[in-house]
Amino acid sequence: MQKRPRTLFRNIDGIVLLDKPQGLSSNQALQRVRHLFRAEKAGHTGSLDPLATGMLPICLGEATKLAGEILDGDKVYRFRVRLGRRTSTGDVEGEVTETAPVPMLERTAVEVVLRGFIGEHMQVPPMYSAIKQAGQPLYKLARAGVTVERAPRRVRIERLEMLALEPEALELQVECGKGTYVRVLAEDIAAALGTVGHVELLRRQSVQPFPAERMVTIEALQAALEAGQPLPLISPSEAVGHLPMVTLAAAEARRLQQGQTVSAAAATRAASLASGGSASESEATVRVHGPQGQFLGLGRLLSDGRLAPKRLVAQPLSE
């Protein structure tokens, strides 16, 4: 039997904003993209359930070092809540565990309820999640029929809008901070309306700072690669383009790359750039560039005005 040729992976840096299809896990989607690009290193930022579709940023090469920064960004989801039935997973893939009548819903009253979710509040993570307890992911315990206590976590809802109202369903759009579970939000909204519910459809429309129109499907990636067209890769520097920028001279940049803090004079200039003209009073994250505009990664402005490395990418320097 003839052996299949071994895939030769390569160093390639950038971010793919994948429009994840329904039915694939985030890791399955990641592996497909990695093999399409033959990327040596790859990682995704912020898992999407197999049920969910939409933006899944996939970092390749040196861009994987920025995954944590992207993960911290706000997300926008569009979702549909089916009222009257609770499921074991909080979505349509679970078994119905509870039913309840759905009261007559009036748009103004529903909007008042939704406004009550704006801001910061505590949310109990679902059992069907990747959060670990005693080294075990909660979803593995849930599949074994085990339910454990979960500590509530603080989440932030920036915006929650009703797009459509039906007798037994709501279509909503939410902009939320890191760590928010839309399935739990849907259950909490249903409870506030006097019934139970679960997520019927879920789509992540954007991840800060990327707009929805930059998403690309697996099929479009495959077609571009086969046709030899330019790859739809976002540069690592663009992924953190919302952060203040600091440009260093070659000598300062080399010291930073060696893990050293930058001289007081250079750090004072950086602090001024990051704070709009005044020295920074607390640590702040900035994107650092070399003398010819090379993106070097992320730095930390310390409270004493010095600039320290935070997450650097491999980048040769030129004068």
Distance CA 103, CA 232 (A): 48
Alpha carbon 138 to its chain's center: 20
Burial (Cβ within 10 Å: 0-12, 13-18, ≥19) of residue 277:
exposed
C-beta neighbour count of 57 within 10 angstroms: 24
> Can you tell me which residue has the tokens 């339910």?
147
Write the DSSP assignment of 75-110 as a string of letters.
EEEEEEEEESEEESSSBTTSPEEEE-PPPP--HHHH
Judge whether 269 and 243 are in contact, CB under 8 Å: no
Encoding tokens for residue 163? 């797009």
Residues classed as catalytic: 49
Closest residue by Cα to residue 264 from 224, 236, 302, 305: 305
